[in-house]
Amino acid sequence: MKMKLLWLLLAFASITQAAAPDTSQSGVPLLQPLPQESKAAHLSAEVLTRYHYKAAPLDDTMSSQIFDRYLKSLDPEKMFFVQSDIDQISSEKTKLGDAINNENLSPAFKIFNLYEQRFNERFTYARSLLKQGFDFTAKENFQASREKESWIKSEDEMRDLWRKRVKNDWLRLKLAGKDPKSIVNTLDKRYDNYLVRNRKLKSDDAFQIFMNAYAESTDPHTNYFGVRASEDFDISMRLSLIGIGAVLVEHDEYTTIRELVAGGPAMLSGKLKVGDRIVGVAQGEHAPMVEVLGWRLDDTVAIIRGAGDSTVVLDILPEDAGPDGKHKLVSLIRKKINLEQQAAKDSIIEVKDGANTRHIGVISLPTFYQDFAAHQRGDPDFKSATRDVSHLLAQLKKDKVDSVLIDLRNNGGGSLDEAIELTGLFINKGPVVQQRNASGKIEVESYTKGKPVWDGPLGVMINRGSASASEIFAAAIQDYGRGVVIGESSFGKGTVQRIVDLDEAAHNDKPKYGELKMTTAQFFRINGGTTQLRGVTPDISFPSSIDSDEFGESSYDNALPWTQINAADYALAGDLSDVVPLLQARHDSRIKNDKEYQYLEEDIALFKAERKKNSISLNEADRRKERDTQEARIKAHEKATESSKSASEKLAAAKSDAIRDDGLQANERTLTVEIAAEKAAKDAKDVLLNEAVHILSDEVDLLKTDSRLAARVLPGLVLSAGAKSN
């Protein structure tokens, strides 16, 4: 069985809808498992019970765990099922394992279909509430999160919960200045859209959720990918696809162009623009046109993609045309599209320190990507995070930067090979990570290619969203004493996954059964510790809005424990023990006078307090008072920091203020507003990044003024050769 070495953290998106058992009442077709899905489940069980790092039998205990996780995936906030539903389906609790082994998934689909019925009923009831309006003078509250609550006991209690949910939606729009008629139209359309999307679900949606309930019951990072999910995962790793070069979204039942990729066929044609709607797709100049109005977005995308150099014809309703406006046909030749927005990027940030101006090179890396297939077939130009970062470092050296910061915030991981190779850009030959498999055998993975590309001052920035390969890299840099790690404690994922192609296992020529991303080993730092559960602790910590029990490895109920093995044989590249306290002292002193940093800490504290309170007032006077207090605080902060903002930052703040809380969901705003908000977020000042580059500037200053310290931090390096201050 062929297994491809892989990564990390890829959380599947829980679909909080399902399919109805009573078609006469719901209008939604009854979903049934397909034969290939039952076979794929059985194949997955054979693999997981034999080769998983924590291989466990598919017995009654595992079946019960699958049942609980399945319900949590479907109804995490306990807003749809009532206790009598749980009592009804609890008879299936110990049958799910047998259902998988016997290739009869009816019990799983029975649960899904009941959920579909409840989903339909709840949103239909929500729409009915819009006819009566609400009393906003009453003193009552809505519970923001119900994840840890018990199942609601009766239908009356459930209806009251939904009354409060709809009342909160209405009040948000009212506070944003919407009139009653507009509010009713917005919410009615919103709830109807949920029902419409619900009716478009297929058996593979139900199957994907159920199989992930099984996979994630073995450990948090084992996942099942259906055929389409496998394709999307491969695209995310190789950062390329064959298509037309357009980012598409679903908007009012239309597949709508949100962005044109530079250099792609769609942009080069000059015939398409943002906001244009695709209502039909044909596979060639003389092929029949297939109407896609009302289709699911992923189904439309699937037929727009195709083989390279093939023709696709789009039936376009222009952005400025009404529903009955004139269409146009656009013929495009599909080409390879590189997803450069997700690739490594560099920038240079100037830090003024008295008479000196230092230049800090920042490399942002969203994921540790690699085109596995191209690499395996020997393509010398295969897409690689390490190769891209190496090119960026070479340019930064030409630009004579004083230090380099690798920004791994929200980098969920990727290729283990890339983590090892990327570490090698900053160290000499040596071990990077250790792996222990299920039998206890330990292997040391090393970088063996020689001299580093960058041997100057270095920093690594992480946060709670930095996981897996990001943690391997950050931990290695920290253990070698090679650079300063800055930010929040990382995710805490210390396990290794491999991709198992179920079609290869079944000797299929065409994709049919999907893939498993399965945990097969645990990785350890070269110092013998592990990032599992605890993550990487930064040398200099920043404030975090995330609680460890809500996000990260420690939030999982079946995470592996922290443990330790012997250290690998490695030599320190530097010693930061003397410089870190000095950097910490300068950091502490600086943030005392940094209003933006202080306001950020204040915002985080208030956010945590609100989340802990877990209660939203539904009284209009109380909410207006809360809103006015919040807006006054925000305006005071903006006024206090106005003089330090650049023109682009001031414009970004103005755009962001325009939709601060308009009560709308993303797909309810116009594309123009959404794109402007996204740009405003990108242009806004990154307070934490700004402080991180100041810390690295401090390090450069300390090393330049203290040769003894420099010799310990960067032994053998003549600082002025790789950096210049002016």
| Judgement on whether residues 441 and 586 belong to the same structural domain of the protein | yes
The pTM of this model reads: 0.91
254 domain residue, yes or no: yes
Q: How confident is the model at residue 682 (pLDDT cuts 50, 70, 90)?
A: confident
How far apart CA 319 and CA 322 sit, in angstroms, is 8
How far apart CA 410 and CA 365 sit, in angstroms, is 9
- Between 25-39, 169-183, 514-528, the lowest mean confidence (pLDDT) is in 25-39
pLDDT of 24 higher than 60? no
Cα 526 → chain centroid: 28
Structural domain including 667 reads 647-684
| Judgement on whether residues 296 and 410 belong to the same structural domain of the protein | no
Q: Kindly state the tokens that stand for 561.
A: 């424990």
Nearest to 51 by CA among 523, 437, 434: 437
Average pLDDT value for residue range 530-541: 97
CATH code of the domain in which 401 resides: 3.90.226.10
Number of H helices, E strands in the chain: 25, 22
* Helices 385-398 + 416-424 axis angle, to 10: 20
Looking only at the bridges linking them, the beta strands covering 335-338 and 240-243 are antiparallel
Q: What is the pLDDT of residues 91-116, one digit of tens each?
A: 999 999 999 999 999 999 999 999 99
Q: How confident is the model at residue 26 (pLDDT cuts 50, 70, 90)?
A: low
CATH code of the domain in which 253 resides: 2.30.42.10
Average pLDDT value for residue range 232-252: 92
DSSP helix/strand/coil, 291? strand
Residues forming beta bridges with residue 255, ordered by sequence position: 250, 278
Asked whether 550 and 529 are in contact (CB, 8 A), the reply is no
Q: If you count them, how many residues does the chain have?
A: 726
Looking only at the bridges linking them, the beta strands covering 515-524 and 223-225 are antiparallel
The mean pLDDT value of the chain amounts to 91
pLDDT cut 70: percent of the chain above it: 92
- Between 49-53, 310-314, 674-678, the lowest mean confidence (pLDDT) is in 674-678
| Judgement on whether residues 333 and 348 belong to the same structural domain of the protein | no
Asked whether 545 and 604 are in contact (CB, 8 A), the reply is yes
Average pLDDT value for residue range 234-248: 93
pLDDT cut 90: percent of the chain above it: 80
How far apart CA 193 and CA 196 sit, in angstroms, is 5
Residues 6+ apart with CB under 8 A from 103: 38, 39, 41, 42
How far apart CA 277 and CA 576 sit, in angstroms, is 56
Name the one residue in this structure whose structure tokens are 């924590």.
54
Asked whether 7 and 497 are in contact (CB, 8 A), the reply is yes
pLDDT value of position 329: 96
List residues with catalytic annotation.
Answer: 468, 479, 493
| Judgement on whether residues 167 and 41 belong to the same structural domain of the protein | yes
| Judgement on whether residues 332 and 385 belong to the same structural domain of the protein | no
Q: What is the pLDDT of residues 477-505, one digit of tens each?
A: 999 999 999 999 999 999 999 999 999 99
600 domain residue, yes or no: no
Q: Kindly tell me the sign of the dihedral angle through the C-alpha atoms of 277, 283, 289, 294.
A: negative
| Judgement on whether residues 251 and 317 belong to the same structural domain of the protein | yes
| Judgement on whether residues 176 and 320 belong to the same structural domain of the protein | no
Q: At residue 297, what are phi and psi to the nearest 5 degrees? A: -60, -45
Q: What residue type is 396 in one-letter code?
A: L
| Judgement on whether residues 122 and 207 belong to the same structural domain of the protein | yes
Asked whether 335 and 306 are in contact (CB, 8 A), the reply is no
| Judgement on whether residues 181 and 285 belong to the same structural domain of the protein | no
pLDDT of 29 higher than 90? no
Helices (H), 29-82: 35-51, 60-74
94 domain residue, yes or no: yes
CB-based burial label for 252 (10 Å; 0-12, 13-18, 19+): exposed
DSSP helix/strand/coil, 552? coil
245 domain residue, yes or no: yes
224 domain residue, yes or no: no
Maximal CA-CA distance, the chain: 82
Count the domains in the chain. Answer: 4
Average pLDDT value for residue range 200-207: 95
Q: DSSP letter string over 260-326? A: E-TTSHHHHHS---TT-EEEEEESSTTSPPEE-TT--HHHHHHHH--STT-EEEEEEE-TTS-TTSP
Asked whether 116 and 31 are in contact (CB, 8 A), the reply is yes
| Judgement on whether residues 165 and 298 belong to the same structural domain of the protein | no
pLDDT of 313 higher than 80? yes
Average pLDDT value for residue range 282-289: 95
How far apart CA 424 and CA 453 sit, in angstroms, is 8
pLDDT value of position 647: 56
Strand order in the sheet with 484-487: 345-353, 356-364, 403-407, 458-462, 484-487, 540-541
Rg (CA), the chain: 27
pLDDT value of position 11: 25
Q: What is the pLDDT of residues 437-447, one digit of tens each?
A: 999 999 999 99
Asked whether 454 and 714 are in contact (CB, 8 A), the reply is no
| Judgement on whether residues 328 and 383 belong to the same structural domain of the protein | no
Q: 295, 313, 338: which is the final residue of a domain?
A: 338
Asked whether 375 and 382 are in contact (CB, 8 A), the reply is yes
Q: What is the pLDDT of residues 537-583, one digit of tens each?
A: 999 999 998 888 889 999 999 999 999 999 999 999 999 999 999 99
Nearest to 403 by CA among 723, 120, 148: 723
pLDDT value of position 344: 97
Q: 297, 314, 338: which is the final residue of a domain?
A: 338
Q: How confident is the model at residue 201 (pLDDT cuts 50, 70, 90)?
A: very high
pLDDT value of position 72: 97
Considering only residues 690 and 683, tell me which one the structure prediction assigns the higher pLDDT.
690
- Between 8-22, 272-286, 556-570, the lowest mean confidence (pLDDT) is in 8-22
pLDDT value of position 340: 87
pLDDT value of position 645: 62
Q: Kindly state the tokens that stand for 479.
A: 């253990």
pLDDT of 19 higher than 80? no
pLDDT value of position 222: 97
Asked whether 265 and 332 are in contact (CB, 8 A), the reply is yes
Average pLDDT value for residue range 526-536: 97
602 domain residue, yes or no: no
Produce one character per residue of 500-539: b if its CB has 16 or more CB atoms within 10 Å, e if not. Answer: bbbbebeeeeeeebbbbbbbbbbbbbbbebbbbbbbbebb
How far apart CA 556 and CA 533 sit, in angstroms, is 9
Nearest to 421 by CA among 445, 397, 398, 405: 445
Q: 338, 372, 394: which is the final residue of a domain?
A: 338
Q: How confident is the model at residue 41 (pLDDT cuts 50, 70, 90)?
A: very high
pLDDT value of position 642: 74
Q: Kindly state the tokens that stand for 518.
A: 């399965």
Q: Kindly state the tokens that stand for 70.
A: 């399945």
Considering only residues 195 and 676, tell me which one the structure prediction assigns the higher pLDDT.
195
pLDDT value of position 648: 55
Q: How confident is the model at residue 355 (pLDDT cuts 50, 70, 90)?
A: confident
Q: What is the pLDDT of residues 142-161, one digit of tens each?
A: 998 999 999 999 999 999 99
Q: How confident is the model at residue 23 (pLDDT cuts 50, 70, 90)?
A: very low
pLDDT value of position 103: 96
Asked whether 467 and 490 are in contact (CB, 8 A), the reply is yes
Q: Kindly state the tokens that stand for 224.
A: 């099942």
How far apart CA 394 and CA 714 sit, in angstroms, is 19
For residue 72, give Cα distances in angstroms to 212, 377, 429, 681: 11, 42, 46, 32
Reduced 3-state DSSP string for 612-672: HHCEEECCHHHHHHHHHHHHHHHHHHHHHHHHHCCHHHHHHHHHHHHCCCCCCCHHHCCHH
How far apart CA 137 and CA 528 sit, in angstroms, is 61
Q: How confident is the model at residue 47 (pLDDT cuts 50, 70, 90)?
A: very high
Average pLDDT value for residue range 380-401: 96
How far apart CA 649 and CA 276 sit, in angstroms, is 30
Average pLDDT value for residue range 523-546: 96
576 domain residue, yes or no: yes
Nearest to 699 by CA among 454, 360, 363: 360
How far apart CA 478 and CA 461 sit, in angstroms, is 12
How far apart CA 143 and CA 164 sit, in angstroms, is 9
pLDDT value of position 6: 28
Nearest to 544 by CA among 409, 640, 638, 657: 409
| Judgement on whether residues 541 and 584 belong to the same structural domain of the protein | yes
Nearest to 574 by CA among 699, 691, 468: 699
578 domain residue, yes or no: yes
pLDDT value of position 666: 83
